[in-house]
C-alpha cells in the first residue's frame, strides 16, 4: 500500500547542498543536504586546481553595493514576482490542459475502438515488446503514469551532474542560492536537480508512493500545477529564511514540492493510516505524521539546523495545506472565466468560429 511505504523516507527528502570547502579544487565526494555554503579560504595551489575550483566561484561578483547585498531583502523582489507569476501560469496552463483533454476525449474513445478492431484482424505476434510495454503502462495507476515524466526529468538532470563540462551551468541554473546573480530560473530547475543518487531515489520513491492518492484527489492537471508551484514557493521560503539568518548557500532537490504533495494528501485524508517501511507493525494517522514532520522542520528553522533545508520543507508543507483548505476554492474552482476566454480564442476563425460549424 502506498501509504505504508513512505513514512521512513520523509526525512530523507532534504535538498542537497554544495560546499566549496574542497581540497585542491576537487569536487566533494559526499554532499550535505541543504546546509550552509562557505567558500574555501585556501587558495588553489596550482593552475589546474584553479580551473577545477572555478565553477564553485562563478557567482562571486565584484564588491556589492548595499542595495545588491546578498543579505538585502530587496534582492527577493524578483523572486517574489516570479513565484506569483509562475504559480498563476501553472494553474492557467493546467486549466487549458484539462480543457483540451476533455475536448479530445471523444475522439480518443473512437480511436481506441478502431485500434482494438484492427488488432483483432491483425495476426498476433508472440513476444511483441511494444504490446508488453503498453500493457505494463496501462497497468499503472493514473498517478503513477503522471509522475513517470517527473521522475524521468530528475534522472536526466542527475546524469547531467555527472558530466564535468556541464558542472558550471548546473551550479548556476540547477542550484538555488539567494546570493547568486541568477535567482529566478533555479527556483524551478533546482526542483528537478539531485547530486546524490540516494537523495534522488528517496525523493522519487516518496513521490511514487503518494502519486496515486494525490492524482486521484486532484486530477493529473491540477496535481502537476500544485507540484510545480510548490517547488517554486518552497524555494522562495528558503530564500527568505537564508537572507534573514545570513546562512546563504546553494541547495537543490525535489523535497519542497514532495512535501506539498504529502501535506495535501494528509490534510485531505487525516485519518488514513501510515506506517514506517521497515516497521510496518507501527501505524499512525496521516494527521499526526504531518504534525510531527512540521514540528521537526519548525524546530530546524528556529534552531538553525543545517543538514536539511527545513525552511523549504516547511514552505512546501504549508503550501500543500493551504491549497487543500483554501487554494482549491480560490484558484481551481474559479478557472471558468479563463477557460471560456481560451475557448473563444481557440475557436475564433476556426470551424467553430464565425461562419463555421459548431465544435
Contact 265/211 with Cβ under 8 angstroms? no
Residue 255 appears among annotated catalytic residues: yes
Of 255, 310, 317, 328, which one is the catalytic site residue?
A: 255
Measure Cα distances from 19 to 30, 31, 216, 237 in Å: 10, 7, 40, 21
Strand positions, DSSP E, 217-318? 273-276, 279-285
Nearest to 14 by CA among 333, 326, 238, 284: 238
Residue 57 appears among annotated catalytic residues: no
Of 194, 310, 313, 328, which one is the catalytic site residue?
A: 313
What lies within 8 Å, CB to CB, of 222 at 6+ separation is 91, 94, 98, 332
What lies within 8 Å, CB to CB, of 125 at 6+ separation is 131
Alpha-carbon torsion 182, 185, 188, 190, what sign? negative
What lies within 8 Å, CB to CB, of 29 at 6+ separation is none
Active site residues: 255, 313
Amino acid at each position: 500500500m502506498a501509504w505504508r511505504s513512505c513514512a521512513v523516507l520523509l526525512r530523507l527528502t532534504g535538498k542537497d547542498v554544495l560546499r566549496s570547502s574542497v581540497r585542491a579544487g576537487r569536487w566533494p565526494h559526499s554532499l550535505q543536504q541543504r546546509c550552509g555554503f562557505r567558500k574555501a579560504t585556501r587558495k588553489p595551489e596550482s593552475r589546474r586546481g584553479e580551473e577545477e575550483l572555478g565553477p564553485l566561484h562563478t557567482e562571486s561578483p565584484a564588491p556589492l553595493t548595499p542595495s545588491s547585498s546578498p543579505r538585502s531583502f530587496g534582492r527577493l523582489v524578483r523572486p517574489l514576482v516570479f513565484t506569483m507569476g509562475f504559480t498563476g501560469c501553472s494553474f492557467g496552463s493546467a486549466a487549458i490542459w484539462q480543457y483540451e483533454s476533455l475536448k479530445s476525449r471523444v475522439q480518443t474513445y473512437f480511436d481506441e475502438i478502431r485500434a482494438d478492431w484492427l488488432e483483432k484482424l491483425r495476426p498476433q505476434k508472440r513476444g511483441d515488446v511494444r504490446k508488453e510495454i503498453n500493457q505494463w503502462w496501462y497497468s499503472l495507476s493514473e498517478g503513477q503514469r503522471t509522475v513517470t515524466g517527473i521522475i524521468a526529468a530528475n534522472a536526466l538532470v542527475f546524469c547531467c551532474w555527472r558530466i564535468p563540462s556541464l558542472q558550471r551551468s548546473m551550479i548556476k541554473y540547477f542550484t538555488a542560492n539567494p546570493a547568486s546573480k541568477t535567482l529566478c530560473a533555479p527556483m524551478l530547475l533546482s526542483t528537478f536537480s539531485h547530486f546524490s543518487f540516494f537523495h534522488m531515489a528517496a525523493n522519487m520513491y516518496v513521490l511514487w508512493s503518494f502519486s496515486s492518492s494525490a492524482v486521484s484527489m486532484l486530477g493529473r492537471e491540477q496535481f502537476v500545477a500544485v507540484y510545480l508551484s510548490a517547488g517554486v514557493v518552497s524555494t522562495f521560503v528558503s530564500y527568505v529564511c537564508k537572507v534573514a539568518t545570513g546562512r546563504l548557500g546553494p541547495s537543490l532537490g525535489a523535497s519542497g514540492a514532495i512535501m506539498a504533495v504529502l501535506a495535501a494528501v494528509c490534510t485531505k485524508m487525516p485519518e488514513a493510516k501510515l506506517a514506517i517501511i521497515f516497521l510496518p507493525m507501527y501505524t499512525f494517522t496521516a494527521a499526526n505524521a504531518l504534525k510531527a514532520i512540521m514540528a521537526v522542520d519548525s524546530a530546524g528553522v528556529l534552531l538553525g539546523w543545517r543538514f536539511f533545508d527545513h525552511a523549504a520543507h516547511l514552505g512546501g508543507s504549508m503550501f500543500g495545506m493551504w491549497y487543500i483548505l483554501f487554494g482549491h476554492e480560490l484558484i481551481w474552482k474559479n478557472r471558468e472565466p479563463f477557460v471560456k476566454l481560451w475557448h473563444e480564442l481557440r475557436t475564433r476563425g476556426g470551424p467553430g468560429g464565425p461562419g463555421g460549424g459548431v465544435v
